[in-house]
Amino acid sequence: MEHVQRIGRTLKHHGTILDMYSDTISVPNGNVAYWDFIDHKGAAAVVPVLDDGRILLVRQYRNALDRETLEIPAGGFNGDEPAIDAAARELEEETGYCSSRLEHLISIATAVAFCNEIVDIYVATDLKKTQQHLDEDEYIDVEAYTQKEVADMIFSGKIQDSKTIAAVMAYIYRDGHINNSK
């Protein structure tokens, strides 16, 4: 492949969790292209697994889609917070459960064409019920589903959130097959 080179970057918007840029790119035929770029601060997410194998999902309104979605708990970092700490914090804030067993599952790049967001995803087991700690503008319902129910919702299109699909499928299939009994 011939060489593509970024020759300029202009900040268009500075936000709390992301910055938007216009990049100037030199392409192999000598032309100049302008590409959008979103610099994201990163995030952590967690697949919470109850003792009976069911997976906790959170139902919340998402403005970008103008509808409710079912997702795994996730959120951005507080400063230089380690990803595992952010995952544990989001788990308790959004679901009202905490875990002493968080294990790294996968890291995903959510939108490689225009954004550098990386989401570090963990599996939480040995869950203990505590209490949700929602922000004043958060309204989240917590729902438990079997692994098969979640997989069926993914394949039917009911769940479309990319981090949730990647995380749940990685968790369910990490041993090479789905556990239909759960």
Give the catalytic positions in this structure: 136
Cβ neighbours of 11 (radius 10 Å): 10
**Sign (positive/negative) of CA torsion 92, 95, 98, 104?**
negative
Distances (CA, A) of 158 to 32, 40, 54, 64: 41, 26, 18, 16
Please give the Cα distance from 49 to 179 (Å, whole number).
Answer: 13
Within 10 angstroms of residue 18's Cβ, the number of other Cβ atoms is 15
